[in-house]
Amino acid sequence: MTGRAETLRVGVIGTGAMGASHVTTLATSVPGAEVTALHDVDAPRADRLAAEVGAASVPSASELIESDRVDAVVVASPDATHELLVLECLAARKPVLCEKPLALGVDGSQRIVDAEVVLGRRLVQVGFMRRYDSAYRALREAVLGGDLGTPRAVHCVHRNAHAQPGATSDSVIMGSMVHELDIVPWLVDDPLTGITVVAALSAGDAFADLQVAVLETASGLVATVEVFVNAEYGYDIGCEVVGTAGTARLTAPYGLARRRNGVDGRGVAADFVERFVGAYAWHGVTDYVDGSSPDGRPRSW
Amino acid sequence: MTGRAETLRVGVIGTGAMGASHVTTLATSVPGAEVTALHDVDAPRADRLAAEVGAASVPSASELIESDRVDAVVVASPDATHELLVLECLAARKPVLCEKPLALGVDGSQRIVDAEVVLGRRLVQVGFMRRYDSAYRALREAVLGGDLGTPRAVHCVHRNAHAQPGATSDSVIMGSMVHELDIVPWLVDDPLTGITVVAALSAGDAFADLQVAVLETASGLVATVEVFVNAEYGYDIGCEVVGTAGTARLTAPYGLARRRNGVDGRGVAADFVERFVGAYAWHGVTDYVDGSSPDGRPRSW
Amino acid sequence: MTGRAETLRVGVIGTGAMGASHVTTLATSVPGAEVTALHDVDAPRADRLAAEVGAASVPSASELIESDRVDAVVVASPDATHELLVLECLAARKPVLCEKPLALGVDGSQRIVDAEVVLGRRLVQVGFMRRYDSAYRALREAVLGGDLGTPRAVHCVHRNAHAQPGATSDSVIMGSMVHELDIVPWLVDDPLTGITVVAALSAGDAFADLQVAVLETASGLVATVEVFVNAEYGYDIGCEVVGTAGTARLTAPYGLARRRNGVDGRGVAADFVERFVGAYAWHGVTDYVDGSSPDGRPRSW
Amino acid sequence: MTGRAETLRVGVIGTGAMGASHVTTLATSVPGAEVTALHDVDAPRADRLAAEVGAASVPSASELIESDRVDAVVVASPDATHELLVLECLAARKPVLCEKPLALGVDGSQRIVDAEVVLGRRLVQVGFMRRYDSAYRALREAVLGGDLGTPRAVHCVHRNAHAQPGATSDSVIMGSMVHELDIVPWLVDDPLTGITVVAALSAGDAFADLQVAVLETASGLVATVEVFVNAEYGYDIGCEVVGTAGTARLTAPYGLARRRNGVDGRGVAADFVERFVGAYAWHGVTDYVDGSSPDGRPRSW
């Protein structure tokens, strides 16, 4: 048991849905964290939110990053700005949590990795919050602890109720399937070596809103992934790891079951906020300061 | 409500594990059926079983097929004999239920189909018993009845506790995955158009005991299949159909749950006999006589 | 494995809902049984049903019981006739399955028991079909096999969607709770010694449609029972046995689960026919002939 | 969304298992709370814990209660001291959370209620933490929101793996069943009017470690309660509310399911800490300061 660490002062860039959610979580649910500065190109929106949490609204992102009152930064601004802002944080030697994507392409991501390597210190986390979900963590412990024998296969399901406006066949992979590409190698501690994607596409479909992938890893494990962004019935995340000695799978954190009108049912989450609320609030100050997660895998949260 | 149909007299060729199981089921659990003749190259084995159920032990398969006391035939002899025996049944114009495989290859299967077409009457069923499992049938009704909207994806899992002696990478597909290749198009009433198989194979593995396949159908639906023949923990069959309006999946027919030693658990079946006992007993005399199953898909049971 | 026993010729008295259901089950699903005679005071109704199954419609119950073409009798006529008809069956030394109640009161039931004792042979079964339900049987095996240690408590739930017309506070006990009074001592092999009933009764209720009972057994075990005959959402039967080493409980035989409209749900049965269809068809000829059930507890089925 | 409230300085009396757990929770998981003072008759134990969390170790309980550095008090000392310490907190007009029991008997509890009434302000909470459990809260919302129609019955199960040393037939009620006596009227917003307790007691039992109760409420609802303090298999809390339009029940917050050795299983909690960890950390500063819980039921937490 330890007492509370000193307060970490966080600046948040971007106050849209994700940014505002980070501000609320940090201000009310993360012991040891304090939101001291906000920036948004929509200054009035940043001003309002800043007033609510007692933070300063700062006129530019660079000023926020360099501020003496900011120990760590959250980047939740539009995708195109991520790479530059993260590089600025590295230059200022401040820990940064960047919402996905880290950059717009492979080259940009590589530039960030290179900068961090030069710095010799890990400061960047990407917003893969599942690693902080208690169920995913229990699943990983079961796998790495040997409970399932040798892992041989993984099955992932990722369903959103409704596609976001402007969704494309590409964004299904970049915005949704990317979570599975992060979590599978993390769960089995085994890097990906190959991926095959098959779109379920009928004549007349505007884009491939349901896609299936087969992933292969270095050790010979195979994973299947379904991503369906128009599942309609709700937000649903499934994961099963199959080993030589048994299997383990996520079960939804239902809490309550009802029997009504001939159905014995449980509620499905409406969206990722409802499903992963605990994961967003989980990590404490230590994770920010040293850029590490408790499992010794520092690059993401 | 209808009264009992006249008795159907069945002859069974092959009295090994599957053949003996058919004899028992027919003799004790299928109203309207009677086992009148048995044949096995191991004559003493056939004699013993015949004595138990009051049937005749017949010295040759051909004699059994042509016997006046046999209205319909079950072929459960070694694989290599199937094609010829089924063709003999067709020649005798008797309904025949043949255990899989129907023949040793594509050519043999085609010869049987051609013979049946010439005959102008469907008399051949293959032992795909899942179509008679109440859960699979309920799943199919949910799909074809429109409950799930348009079906978009299917996920199948097929696990045996232990590979059979002599199992090979090929037999995993021919003996096990073949059930999924039968059931997926049946469930969604949509023919297969493509299949990609990926083996989960590590250095040192004797054969690919875990294989994953991606199936594609004419309408653009995609299915994933996992077959794992050394799952160790038990025999486990899973199937989920994903539609635009919702999903439906098989749930194991557990019946009983226990809480012991820190676990809230339910028993997994040991093998396919335990899991599908109801499916084997399901069909009645009508199915044999007119070679049709109740859903109007006559070729299999 | 055994061959089929000789045919048992059954006569059915009463062709209302329960009687007609017995006729159908016997005619189509019970290997070795044949319905040869029917009687109903509504003669045209009996005639129609008899024609369907190839049985004779007999003008009186006594004639049916004494008929040379009837080996065993099912009594499904109005409650007030049960005692006399069962006594007639005993006089004719024919096995009889009587729907509950066996008689209208304690005295009538005792007269039947006395007659059977004088006869020196058990011929009477009462329609407690749960003892033939596979899940209840598995539960009993778990208990008596010692899997749960010493049984200490039982919890029963019995819900009907809608009360039958004319239901009273008494009929809730006599018609519904009676199943629990039969099944609890059977499950734990321990006779009841006491019962306390508490009605959940609000001002304005026409009768006590929800009643709770606490049962006590000879060994000191305690059982709770809820009977609710207006549960509205469906027909629902629950049973949990709590032992020193663990618990076991019935799970509904769902087969299929669906996710739709924000709910992950499974269907609840509409009525007892749907829930216990297997139990009605379970028993074979042997049970009728020697009046015994396979577990050596002969008086009920 | 609101910013963080000012820090509340909490003093904790008693640093045994429960007291130390409160200290840890307050120090690390309750935003806005700070532990500033500890007291225990085992001074070295209090000193060690105080050093860990940066609090003062205070030589007497009275001194802690009256300290200028203490805004609110947690009483987790031996049961016999509760009444007096709570009265002292009231005299000092400081909010107090007292572990159960509030006093050793009815008279003592009444004296505290009287004192609070005189004070005209609610300052006392008792440690009924279930009211802060997310599943119980969802269940209450379902009931009071009308989802189940009119509530008619409640079924509660409360199982501990092992009785505490020195447990008696009385302590099963006072220490364990008391949670059900608190939660049932809270869930259905309907006061208890009667209770009947039946012990499952066999010859040779040292005390009644399994007891069943039937509760009745003012509106005519009936509840059953099983408390079993030697359940061996784990800590298990169940609750189902039965209404005219349906039922709702707690489901265990499993998170993970495994299939191993023929069992499809989920882990049962080992003890109440594991099961209710979220409930202990749930409430924030506001609850302490104004003695109210968010649902407007101020006396307990």
Q: Given pLDDT bands bounded at 50, 70 and 90, which one contains residue A254? A: low
Closest CA–CA distance from residue B168 to any residue of chain A (Å): 18
Are the beta carbons of C249 and B266 separated by less than 8 Å?
no
Closest CA–CA distance from residue A161 to any residue of chain C (Å): 9
Q: Which residues contact C23 (CB under 8 A, 6 or more apart)?
A: B1, C12, C15, C35, C38, C49, C53, C55
Q: Which two tokens stand for residue C285?
A: 């000829």
Task: Please indicate whether residue C154 or residue A258 has the higher confidence score (pLDDT).
Answer: C154
Q: Which residues contact A297 (CB under 8 A, 6 or more apart)?
A: A131, A186
- The owner of tokens 């009645």 is B284
* pLDDT of D257: 86
* pLDDT of C298: 31
Q: Which two tokens stand for residue A291?
A: 């850029």
Interval B10-38: pLDDT, tens: 999 999 999 999 999 888 877 778 999 99
Are the beta carbons of A263 and C267 separated by less than 8 Å?
yes
- Cβ contact A211:A204 at 8 Å: no
Are the beta carbons of D267 and B268 separated by less than 8 Å?
no
Q: Which of residues 45-84 of C touch D (CB under 8 A)?
A: none
SS3 C221: coil
SS3 A163: coil
**Mean of the pLDDT values across residues C84-97?**
97
Compute the mean pLDDT over every residue in chain C, rounded to the nearest whole number.
Answer: 88
Residues from chain D contacting residue B270 (CB–CB below 8 Å): 262
Interval D114-164: pLDDT, tens: 999 999 999 999 989 888 888 899 999 999 999 999 999 999 999 999 999
Q: Which of B4, B53, B247 to mutate to test the interface with C (most CBs of C within 10 A)?
A: B4
Q: What is the dihedral of CA C69, C73, C75, C80, to 10 degrees?
A: 80
Which strand ranges, in their side-by-side order, compose the sheet holding D96-98?
Answer: D56-57, D33-39, D8-13, D72-75, D96-98, D124-126
Are the beta carbons of C247 and B266 separated by less than 8 Å?
no
Are the beta carbons of D262 and B234 separated by less than 8 Å?
yes
Burial, C98: exposed, middle or buried (Cβ in 10 Å; 0-12, 13-18, 19+)? Answer: buried
Q: How many CA atoms lie within 13 A of C190 on its CB side?
A: 23
Q: Which two tokens stand for residue D98?
A: 């007292």
Q: How far apart are CA A262 and CA B137, in angstroms?
A: 20
* pLDDT of C263: 86
* pLDDT of D31: 72
**Mean of the pLDDT values across residues C269-274?**
80
CB-defined contacts A:D, below 8 A: 114
Are the beta carbons of C221 and D200 separated by less than 8 Å?
yes
Is the pLDDT at C166 greater than 50? The verdict is yes
Is the pLDDT at B295 greater than 50? The verdict is no
Q: How far apart are CA C173 and CA A197, in angstroms?
A: 61
Are the beta carbons of A249 and D261 separated by less than 8 Å?
no
Q: Which two tokens stand for residue C68?
A: 């040379």
Q: Rounded to 5 degrees, what angle do the CA atoms B157, A245, A129 make?
A: 75
- Cβ contact C98:C127 at 8 Å: yes
* pLDDT of C291: 42
Of B63-77, D81-95, D262-276, the one with minimum mean pLDDT is D262-276
Strands D33-39 and D8-13 turn out to be: parallel
Return the H-helix or E-strand segment holding C215: strand C210-217
Closest CA–CA distance from residue A238 to any residue of chain C (Å): 13
Closest CA–CA distance from residue D161 to any residue of chain B (Å): 9
Of B24, B134, B245, nearest to C1 by CB-CB distance is B24
Share of chain A above pLDDT 90, in %: 69
Whether A277 contacts chain D with CB within 8 A: no
Of C138, C259, C260, nearest to B255 by CB-CB distance is C138
Q: How far apart are CA C157 and CA C135, in angstroms?
A: 15
- Look at chain B and count its residues: 301
* pLDDT of B300: 31
Task: Please indicate whether residue B201 or residue B81 has the higher confidence score (pLDDT).
Answer: B81
Residues from chain B contacting residue C250 (CB–CB below 8 Å): 255-256
Q: Given pLDDT bands bounded at 50, 70 and 90, which one contains residue C301? A: very low
Is the pLDDT at C288 greater than 60? The verdict is no
- Cβ contact B5:C56 at 8 Å: no
Q: Which two tokens stand for residue D119?
A: 């004070």
Whether B27 contacts chain C with CB within 8 A: yes
Residue of B nearest to A221 (CA): B200
Are the beta carbons of B242 and A199 separated by less than 8 Å?
no
Q: Which of residues 222-261 of A touch B (CB under 8 A)?
A: 222, 224, 226, 228, 230-233, 242, 244-247
Is the pLDDT at D280 greater than 80? The verdict is no
Burial, C17: exposed, middle or buried (Cβ in 10 Å; 0-12, 13-18, 19+)? Answer: exposed
- Cβ contact C104:C83 at 8 Å: yes
* pLDDT of A223: 98
- Cβ contact A35:A99 at 8 Å: no
Whether B157 contacts chain D with CB within 8 A: no
Are the beta carbons of A246 and D258 separated by less than 8 Å?
yes
Angstrom distances, CA of residue C149 to CA of C143, C145, C184, C243:
8, 9, 17, 5
Exposure string for C155-191, b = 16+ CB within 10 A, e = fewer = bbbbbbbebeeebeeeebbebbbbbbbbbbbbbbebe
Q: How far apart are CA A213 and CA A195, in angstroms?
A: 7
Are the beta carbons of B242 and A220 separated by less than 8 Å?
no
Going by C-alpha positions, the residue among C182, C119, C150 that lies closest to residue C246 is C150
- What ipTM goes with this model? 0.86
Of A4, A138, A253, nearest to D28 by CB-CB distance is A4
| DSSP 8-state assignment for residue B9 | E
Is the pLDDT at A50 greater than 60? The verdict is yes
Burial, B191: exposed, middle or buried (Cβ in 10 Å; 0-12, 13-18, 19+)? Answer: exposed
Angstrom distances, CA of residue C191 to CA of B127, C182, C215:
48, 10, 10
* pLDDT of C142: 93
Are the beta carbons of B251 and C248 separated by less than 8 Å?
no
What is the model's pTM?
0.88
**Mean of the pLDDT values across residues B247-253?**
84
Is the pLDDT at D297 greater than 60? The verdict is no
Going by C-alpha positions, the residue among A239, A238, A243, C90 that lies closest to residue B200 is A243
| DSSP 8-state assignment for residue D254 | -
Angstrom distances, CA of residue C129 to CA of A140, B109, C182, C185, C227:
47, 47, 10, 15, 18
Whether A153 contacts chain B with CB within 8 A: yes
Residue of C nearest to A232 (CA): C261
* pLDDT of A29: 77
Closest CA–CA distance from residue C95 to any residue of chain B (Å): 22
Of B200, B214, B226, nearest to A155 by CB-CB distance is B226
* pLDDT of B157: 96
* pLDDT of C292: 40
Q: Which of residues 170-229 of A touch D (CB under 8 A)?
A: none
Task: Please indicate whether residue A75 or residue B205 has the higher confidence score (pLDDT).
Answer: A75
Q: Which two tokens stand for residue D164?
A: 């505490």
* pLDDT of B4: 43
Closest CA–CA distance from residue C86 to any residue of chain B (Å): 27
Interval B133-171: pLDDT, tens: 888 999 999 999 999 999 999 999 999 999 999 999 999
Share of chain D above pLDDT 90, in %: 70
Return the H-helix or E-strand segment holding B64: helix B61-66
Closest CA–CA distance from residue D170 to any residue of chain C (Å): 18
Q: Given pLDDT bands bounded at 50, 70 and 90, which one contains residue C70? A: very high
Residues from chain C contacting residue D206 (CB–CB below 8 Å): none
Q: What is the CA radius of gyration of chain B?
A: 20
- Cβ contact B188:B240 at 8 Å: no
Q: Which two tokens stand for residue A48?
A: 């309002």
Task: Please indicate whether residue D192 or residue D132 has the higher confidence score (pLDDT).
Answer: D192
* pLDDT of A281: 64
**Mean of the pLDDT values across residues B225-254?**
91
* pLDDT of D253: 63
Interval B198-215: pLDDT, tens: 999 887 888 999 999 999
Is the pLDDT at A278 greater than 80? The verdict is no
Q: Given pLDDT bands bounded at 50, 70 and 90, which one contains residue A261? A: confident
| DSSP 8-state assignment for residue C268 | P
Whether C265 contacts chain A with CB within 8 A: yes
* pLDDT of D134: 86
Residue type, B298: P
CB-defined contacts A:B, below 8 A: 94
Interval D207-259: pLDDT, tens: 999 999 999 999 999 999 999 999 999 999 999 999 999 999 998 766 788 88
Are the beta carbons of C254 and B251 separated by less than 8 Å?
yes
The percent of chain C in helix, strand and coil, each rounded to the nearest 5, is 35, 25, 35
SS3 C170: helix
**Mean of the pLDDT values across residues B187-194?**
97
Residue of D nearest to C202 (CA): D220
Residues from chain C contacting residue B28 (CB–CB below 8 Å): 1-4, 31
Residues from chain A contacting residue D52 (CB–CB below 8 Å): 1-3
Q: Given pLDDT bands bounded at 50, 70 and 90, which one contains residue C124? A: very high
- The owner of tokens 């008929």 is C67
Q: What is the CA radius of gyration of chain C?
A: 20
